[in-house]
Amino acid sequence: MGKDREGRFIPPKGKPSGSGRESKLGLRPGMAPEDLEKDQSITDKYTSGEDEPAPKVRMRHPNRNVHKGDEEEIAANNKTQNSYKNRYNSAPDGAAPRPEPLEEDMSKDDLAALAGYTADCCITLVMPTHRAGMEVNEQQDGIAFKTILQSVQQQLLQQGMRTDEVEPLLMHAFALANDETFWRRQLNGLAVFIAPDVFKYMKLPYAAEQQQYIQQTFDVSPLLPLFTAHEAFFVLVLNKRKAELFEANIFGMKKIRVKEFAMGIDDMVRSEGALQDNMDNTEGTAFHGEGTGKPTDRSNISMYMDEADQLMWNEALSTRQAPLLLAGVESLLPVYHHRSRYQHIADTYLPGNFEEENIQSLCTEARKKLQPYLEVRLQKALDRYNNSIATRLTSSMPETVIPACFYARAEVLFVQKGYHLWGHFNAMDNQLALRDVAEEGDVCMVNAAAVNAYLNGAEVFLLDKERMPNGAAIAALMRYEA
């Protein structure tokens, strides 16, 4: 309350906003007139002027801990909050482990182990994701993942699982949904596998259709393109200053660090020249007209190509059969091709200056150049199928093809991307049930057939509809007639 120049209090002109609720806002209630003198005496005792404390008044530090002494009460209040984080600071019984990534170079044995895992509850989640853009900035992938988890949670409860069983199982999955760093580092798709003692995920370099399965085994078919794409190749970039080897696969391309090979032609010539001079000095002075034996420019290039080929062979190529594309200075490429021992060098080259080239751009250009080489296996498989189409070794009937995949009879399998047939198969009794619309407990038999065919040693090709043999949705070349 303000004062005038004579020290008299000036009454307020009206009620403040929220009048009658001061106590709830932390304000003191309105003061009765008889208490004004008491208030004035307190003011005179503790202040020496407007907004200035009296000299003997002890002030508390503004940054003091106002909750000192209340720690136990605060901890008790926090402990009772109803949330996954507070209830499960340590993993309870039945909780899935923390998420672990599957390796990009996972082996066929790794795939078989994941496919062969069994439990009462195996959750497979697949969804598309984004590498960049508005979807990443706004965390849309994380939100979509949380929505899928909520759907799975409801489905598990409807199947009879108790809340205290479902929540620990999905605890780390919900935590992953809120991990902003994780969702800012995605590729084109994501596959997640959750069970009481398993939590694995794989970031997929290709678009993935959103799916969710709750079964007694995992559906590993979303990982199958990692094994069947046949997109591995090498790129060797050559110029007179250096040679760089890159390896590409379905995930992209990376540089291979080749030991002891950082010098170009000039460095190599100087090194060889120093060695030759040292040998000349050791053996004695050469007679006039005999020459020093130093190589010509053409010999230098040949020597450089031989040195590069030797190191590339020892470090990376000796056990590989993937196509190799030569890129760089156009005059050097045929020389290396002619002198190299590697038998899988492409006849086409990629000339140009790639010293400042982005690796991803180089990968894209190389993939276009090598497309015919990458499809050699597919074309041979299609030719074999078409040449045998009049025999009993081929079939495009799902009722025949699917069991053949389980019994290791299929040698080559063609599957149309996105094609689904639902049902189940009893391999012991050879009983197959198929339907176009999924019912409770059904699995996609097309996906199951593809995984089993691959694990049984068949070549599997996932193709667009227009590339399927004879317009079939699923077709197989058999190892033997039934």
Paired tokens of 426: 């009893």
Given 371, 392, 415, the domain boundary residue is 371
- Kind plus residue range of the DSSP H or E element containing 120: strand 118-128
With respect to residue 259, please indicate whether it lies within any of the assigned structural domains.
Answer: yes
Residue 463, beta-bridge partner list: 416
Q: Which of 178, 170, 159, 200 is nearest to 94 (CA)?
A: 170
With respect to residue 174, please indicate whether it lies within any of the assigned structural domains.
Answer: yes
C-alpha radius of gyration, the chain, whole number? 37
**CA quadruple 282, 286, 290, 294: dihedral sign:** positive
User: How many CA atoms within 13 Å lie on the side-chain side of 151?
Assistant: 14
With respect to residue 331, please indicate whether it lies within any of the assigned structural domains.
Answer: yes
pLDDT value at position 275?
A: 40
With respect to residue 70, please indicate whether it lies within any of the assigned structural domains.
Answer: no
With respect to residue 271, please indicate whether it lies within any of the assigned structural domains.
Answer: yes
- Note whether 385 and 364 are same-domain residues: no
- Note whether 362 and 389 are same-domain residues: no
Distance CA 281, CA 458 (A): 64
pLDDT value at position 104?
A: 87
CATH assignment at residue 217 = 3.30.960
Q: Which of 268, 347, 364, 369 is nearest to 311 (CA)?
A: 268
Paired tokens of 392: 């009993």
pLDDT value at position 92?
A: 57
Low-confidence stretches of the chain (pLDDT < 70) are 1-7, 9, 11-34, 49-51, 56, 59-95, 259-296
Number of domains observed in the structure of the chain: 3
**403: buried, middle or exposed (CB in 10 Å: 19+, 13-18, 0-12)?**
buried
With respect to residue 45, please indicate whether it lies within any of the assigned structural domains.
Answer: no
- Kind plus residue range of the DSSP H or E element containing 233: strand 233-238
Amino acid at 316: A
pLDDT value at position 62?
A: 63
pLDDT value at position 53?
A: 74
What are φ and ψ of residue 100, in 5° steps? Answer: -130, 135
Given 371, 397, 417, the domain boundary residue is 371
pLDDT value at position 95?
A: 65
Range of the structural domain that residue 149 is part of: 100-228
- Note whether 237 and 222 are same-domain residues: no
CATH assignment at residue 467 = 3.30.1330.30
Burial string for 302-337 (b: 16+ CB within 10 Å, else e) reads bbbbebbbebbeeebbeeeebbbbbbbbeebbebbb
**Number of neighbours of residue 134 by Cβ within 10 angstroms:** 8
CATH assignment at residue 240 = 3.30.420.60
pTM equals 0.69
Burial string for 115-124 (b: 16+ CB within 10 Å, else e) reads bebeeebbbb
- Note whether 202 and 268 are same-domain residues: no
- Note whether 367 and 385 are same-domain residues: no
pLDDT value at position 93?
A: 56
- Note whether 221 and 239 are same-domain residues: no
Distance CA 374, CA 229 (A): 9
- Note whether 223 and 237 are same-domain residues: no
- Note whether 433 and 312 are same-domain residues: no
Residue 101, beta-bridge partner list: 201
- Note whether 271 and 381 are same-domain residues: no
pLDDT value at position 41?
A: 77
With respect to residue 87, please indicate whether it lies within any of the assigned structural domains.
Answer: no
**CA quadruple 79, 83, 87, 91: dihedral sign:** negative
- Note whether 254 and 224 are same-domain residues: no
Helices and strands in the chain, H and E counts: 17, 19
Please check whether residue 182 is in contact with residue 99, taking contact to mean a CB–CB distance below 8 angstroms.
no
With respect to residue 9, please indicate whether it lies within any of the assigned structural domains.
Answer: no
- Note whether 413 and 399 are same-domain residues: yes
- Note whether 224 and 238 are same-domain residues: no
Which residue stretches of 159-263 are H helix?
A: 163-177, 180-183, 225-228
Given 371, 388, 419, the domain boundary residue is 371
